[in-house]
A and B are shown apart, each in its own frame.
Chain A
Amino acid sequence: MPDEMKHEPLDRRRFLKVVGVAGAGTAALTGCSTDKVEKLIPYLVQSADQVPGIPTIYASTCTECAAGCGLHVRTREARAIKLEGNPQHPVNAGTLCARGQASLQGLYNPDRLTGPMGRNGVGKMSEVLWNEAIDQLAAAVKQAGSKVAVVTGTPAGTMSDLIDQWTAAVGGRVIRYQAFDHGPVQLAAKKVFGVDELPHHDFGAAKYIVSFGADFLETWHGPIENQRGFAAAHGFDGKGMAKFVYVGTRMSLTGMNADQWVSAASGSETSLALGLANAVLASRSDAPADAAQLKGMLAAYTVEKVAQDTGLSADVVRTLCAEFAKAAPSLAVAGGIGAQHRGAAELCAAVNVLNYVAGNVGKTVHFGFGMGSGSGYGAMLELERAMNAGEIDAVIFHDTNPLYTLPKSGGFRAALAKVRFRATTSMFWDETAAACDLVLPSLHSLERWDDSRPRAGVHGLVQPVMEPVFKNMAAGDVLLQVARKIGGAAGAAFTAPTYEAHLKGIWAGVAKARGAADFDTFWRGALANGGLYDAAPAPATIKLAAGAGDIKSEKPAFDGEGLLFAPYPSSMYHDGRGANRPWLLENPDPVTRITWQSWIEINPETAREMDIREGEILRLNSPAGSIEASVYVYPGIARDVLAMPLGLGHTEYGRYAQGRGVNALDLLSAKDGQGFLPYLSTRVKAEKTGRFRKVAKTEGNPRELGRGITEAIPLAAAVKGLTIQQAYQAAGKGEHEVNPEREAEAIKGFREGQLEERRYGAYALDNPQWGMVIDLARCTGCSACVTACSAENNIPWVGEEDIFRGRELSWMRIERYFEGGEDGEPIKARVIPMLCQQCDAAPCEPVCPVYAAYHTADGLNGQVYNRCVGTRYCANNCPYKVRYYNWYAYAKRAFVEPLNLQLNPDVTVRARGVMEKCTFCIQRIRGAQNTARLEDRAVADGDVVTACAQACASGAITFGNVKDPASRVVQAAKNPRGYHVLEELNTRPAVTYLARVEYGSEA
């Protein structure tokens, strides 16, 4: 960042005004130092919907990706403290992913630009006044006339429309560019069905799911909606579950959740897809009539041919074909980065054919949702050409950072340099901003008005929930003001004084169209619900197009030689926009459990051949460039492939992102496929450097050594309703009982005796006992709960250096264990969310010398921070290792202004030298109890929802009072799959896990 860019210290007074009651805000464990004078700053005018001490919730829409999930923004004293899902919203139904929640750290990011920046006399960037900035832009646009290009990543909505109209008015072109667009999918849709839109997938309805490199649980389309559907289909419901097969070179998070990982040679997936289609046509009669015309093309793809193309054994292919043909409706998806090689369009086409012949179109694959992928990478190449040709005089970037998301090997940067005037509306000093002449930092979506139309039937509203943290201007207002400055046609086109007014105008139209009598009530209703939600549109009738007939499965071309290089989208950083959010940086990668770093994944055997160990720094050379990163040996990757997450290696973008890790795109050649960026198109030479850099992973040992931590039960047994013990015996692996009957009895007797001894004081009262059930058959390991927990409980991040020492604070942590992977048997991953088990006979409690850890009357392991002297004995004695310690003043270090405004005032911020751990969100429990007390009623089931349970898109977590036999948690715990981790220690945890259900031999 240029040094003349100073972070203007925030105007304290203004914040206090926002906070309302100083001190009620950012709580810090300051002991009892009340002698220092504190100020009470009252509101000037008391806003009706703000009651100090009680959260106010605003409905809005998430803008972190194109999925457009509905938000409930929890605010306290008029500052947003947490983002949660909007239960009414059809896309995410009250849940939210890690990236969505971390949007809050975009709002409060200390590296946000505090004002517009323009070139000064000497050509250096420095802060300018807003009106100057507007003038500059207007002048430049006016001068450029029709030679204006607007590059926007804004998903469909009024803003996007405004950009179109505005550009049209000033005369210019719009390029819609998203890094992870779905070019291949859209091309394939056109080719096979003759429709120019993206399909919408209904995972929930599918009985059998095959994904060809589409990581639908990470970034592909709307991950949350996919995950909800996937959980519905694949989560065991007592009768059965869908089978999920993942075809790809690398076992991604999505792959980890597959019942079978098929590592087909990259580029050969098309053959497999067509093979499956062939099998379906051959074995099933219910295929649509016009599918017959494909017989000729498909006939070639016999099991043998497919096996030969893909390098899979014929048996595997045969079973796949048989199973897929049997299941209906099924669902095949493709088009993710995981298989985005130069043949990706063909692959998607093949998958369309497969879905069509299997009769899935209209059942699990829907068209007519009006989803488009934008003009994509092709258009950017076209823009590059135009800029080189001098056809562009002014470029405006909005909601996009192409200088990071485009491969460096391409000529975009050079071409952009030729353009006379470049502007961006980025809130941050990112790579693109650094290459611009004018930066007009927009407002964060929590500070401005907007709406979004992710798909037909969903029209979400974005509303400001608080005063802007920095006095900036929404891009919409910028466009309107510029138009007015330019005047003429442009000026005439836009009469609205502000973007808010413009938006309301649009919505007035909507209201009229819906025959709403009075706009205000309509508007207020829409705001309260976070938008308008209609039933999904009737799916369009789809017939095969001419193109469907000629789909070739050819090995796509790869540049360079050596191992195939597979960059993949990180589920945390997405296309890189998440790289400046500490929550995401410290939330371990669901697959490798690595934080704060870039890494290179390599197959164990390949590593052995090259004599490489974890942490060794490897240099990868491709025709396009070379990068260095530490190695992570990962059994879930094909032998001839090196994989690397995208999203890090920023050269700008603030203190957290800048210079952290490396950018995998630097190895890619920018050569076009057919209008999309072929991520999977490069081979690299791996070169040992002999240097080492520890991998910042939070994992000790990836194997659970048969300790039964993550139990799994075969589907057949689960359907019979067997317990884990019974299932083991049925499988002939019956390990001996933990306790013989007589022992069990003795323990029971002792237990009762003990319970009697405990009836004293508050413990004699009739209190609730809080408990939790976690269904491992539904948990995908997506880690949304981890961020939710950090957000709710003011958990600071510790940074890379302390992660090296294993000092992460993560009350909710996802443990990932590998099964198999050796001598031929397939590698499988199991995940288990590990949090404080709130043991009834907790080992941590009796060892605390000062009662800082003790058992509350409502069955929790109370942790009294201010009583803790920090002997750490409790942490040593915790078998689950879920107690975390403040080795330094982490909170002080992490929550720098204005990030401290995100702190939850209901939760003490832990000081240095204090032990902390999951509290079952006790502040929510107490809150619910207080409310119930005021209303003279008892706390009802569902009144208390922990942050993790709330965020979980799979609905894997149930929380409630185990003393209430009617509660959901008790019902869930009755499940025969239920077990306690380390039960033999007799700690009597309050958390019950439901064993994961796996396809065994019967699959």
Chain B
Amino acid sequence: MSKTVSGVLASFKYEDCAVDAIKGLKSKGFKDLTVYSAAPNHLIEEALDQPVSWVRAFTLIGALTGCAAGFGMSIWMSLDWPLLVGGKPIAAIPPYVVLGFELTILYGALSTVAGVIILSAMKSLKGRPFKPEFSDDTIGVFVPCPPEQRPTIRQFLEGVGSEEVTEHGA
């Protein structure tokens, strides 16, 4: 168990309170918040307004690789040992479109998932507190901050209507 990050964790039952909290904290200059919610919530997204995820890049590259692989494989393998069937050309493109297509999808999908995992893992949540109810019906907001700032932030969070605020870290 690595040492916990110093900061304040607040739980909200009401989403508008949580949104107020986030907006407030950001305006106070706290950028590195961690907001837990049981479901994606667009109000929170707006409040955090982060740039668009890069998953799409993974998807695109994966898909293109797949397409190339599909055509490449079928054409090269046909030419590797040329065998004539039904009077069709050795490397016939129309039938190979199917291969190209299927692999496009396959690689696209797999690399998308890879993307999601990698990108999510890039932001480490090590040492940041988590409560089970966050996956149920509660929104959690964690503000990393030096110990001396904790009381003020605690005050603020209780002010915007957090049900429960706890301080963390040494």
Contacts and interface: CB of A to CB of B under 8 A. Distances in A.
Interface of A: 754, 757-758, 760-763, 840-846, 848, 851, 853-855, 988
Interface of B: 79, 82-90, 95
Contacts of A842: 85-87
A842 B90 CA distance: 14
Contacts of B95: 846
Contact of A760 (B85, B86, B87, B90): B90
Contacts of A762: 82
A758 B86 contact: no
B85 A855 contact: yes
A761 B82 contact: yes
Contacts of A845: 84-86
10 contacts: A757-B88, A758-B84, A758-B89, A760-B82, A761-B82, A763-B82, A841-B86, A845-B84, A846-B85, A854-B83
Contact of A754 (B79, B82, B83, B89): B89
Contact of B84 (A763, A843, A848): A763
A529 to B, nearest CB: 46
A754 B88 contact: yes
A790 B79 CA distance: 37
| Most interface-central of B82, B87, B90 (chain A CB within 10 A) | B87
A923 B73 CA distance: 35
A754 B85 contact: no
A486 B83 CA distance: 74
A755 to B, nearest CB: 8
Contact of A846 (B79, B82, B88): B88
Contacts of A988: 87
A642 B85 CA distance: 51
Given A758-B90, A760-B79, 20 more contacts: A754-B87, A757-B88, A757-B90, A758-B84, A758-B87, A760-B90, A761-B82, A763-B82, A841-B86, A842-B85, A842-B86, A844-B86, A846-B85, A846-B86, A853-B85, A854-B84, A855-B83, A855-B84, A855-B87, A988-B87
Nearest to A762: B82
Contacts of A843: 86
Contacts of B90: 757-758, 760-761
Nearest to A859: B84
Q: What are the 9 tightest A-B residue pairs by CB atom distance, in nearest-first order?
A: A757-B89, A841-B87, A845-B85, A846-B86, A761-B82, A855-B84, A846-B85, A845-B86, A854-B83
A761 B90 CA distance: 10
Contacts of A853: 85
| Most interface-central of B83, B84, B90 (chain A CB within 10 A) | B84
A844 B82 CA distance: 17
A988 B86 CA distance: 10
A763 B89 CA distance: 11
Contacts of B88: 754, 757, 846
A996 B79 CA distance: 45
Interface of B (DSSP majority class): loop
Contacts of A841: 86-87
Contacts, number: 46
Contacts of A763: 82, 84
A763 B79 CA distance: 12
Contacts of B87: 754, 758, 840-842, 855, 988
| Most interface-central of A757, A840, A851 (chain B CB within 10 A) | A757
Contacts of B79: 760
A848 B10 CA distance: 65
A840 B86 CA distance: 7
B128 to A, nearest CB: 53
Nearest to B86: A846
Contacts of B85: 842, 845-846, 848, 851, 853-855
Contacts of B84: 758, 763, 845, 854-855
Contacts of B82: 760-763
Nearest to A843: B86
A853 B85 CA distance: 8
A761 B83 CA distance: 9
Nearest to B87: A841
B98 to A, nearest CB: 13
A754 B87 CA distance: 7
A855 B84 CA distance: 5
B102 to A, nearest CB: 15
Nearest to A763: B84
Nearest to B88: A846
A845 B85 CA distance: 5
B53 to A, nearest CB: 40
Nearest to A840: B87
A842 B86 CA distance: 4
A754 B95 CA distance: 15
A503 to B, nearest CB: 57
Nearest to B92: A757
B89 to A, nearest CB: 4
A851 B79 CA distance: 13
Nearest to A851: B83
Contacts of A848: 85
Contacts of A757: 88-90
A913 to B, nearest CB: 21
A754 B82 CA distance: 15
A216 B89 CA distance: 52
A988 B84 CA distance: 15
Contacts of A754: 87-89
Nearest to A756: B89
A758 B86 CA distance: 11
A845 B84 CA distance: 8
Contacts of B86: 841-846, 855
A137 B2 CA distance: 109
A851 B83 CA distance: 8
Contacts of B83: 851, 854-855
A840 B85 CA distance: 9
| Most interface-central of B85, B86, B88, B95 (chain A CB within 10 A) | B86
A687 to B, nearest CB: 55
A880 to B, nearest CB: 14
A712 to B, nearest CB: 30
A626 B135 CA distance: 89
B61 to A, nearest CB: 31
A762 B83 CA distance: 9
A284 B89 CA distance: 68
A853 B95 CA distance: 18
Nearest to A856: B84
B161 to A, nearest CB: 66
B79 to A, nearest CB: 8
Nearest to B82: A761
A272 to B, nearest CB: 56
B37 to A, nearest CB: 49
A840 to B, nearest CB: 6
A403 to B, nearest CB: 58
B84 to A, nearest CB: 4
B108 to A, nearest CB: 25
Nearest to B84: A855
A776 B87 CA distance: 28
A652 to B, nearest CB: 53
A845 to B, nearest CB: 4
Nearest to B79: A760
B76 to A, nearest CB: 14
Nearest to A877: B86
A541 B145 CA distance: 135
A855 B154 CA distance: 81
A841 B85 CA distance: 8
A291 to B, nearest CB: 65
Contacts of A761: 82, 90
A843 B87 CA distance: 9
Nearest to A848: B85
A34 B93 CA distance: 41
A988 B79 CA distance: 25
Contacts of A846: 85-86, 88, 95
Nearest to A855: B84
A767 to B, nearest CB: 12
Contacts of A760: 79, 82, 90
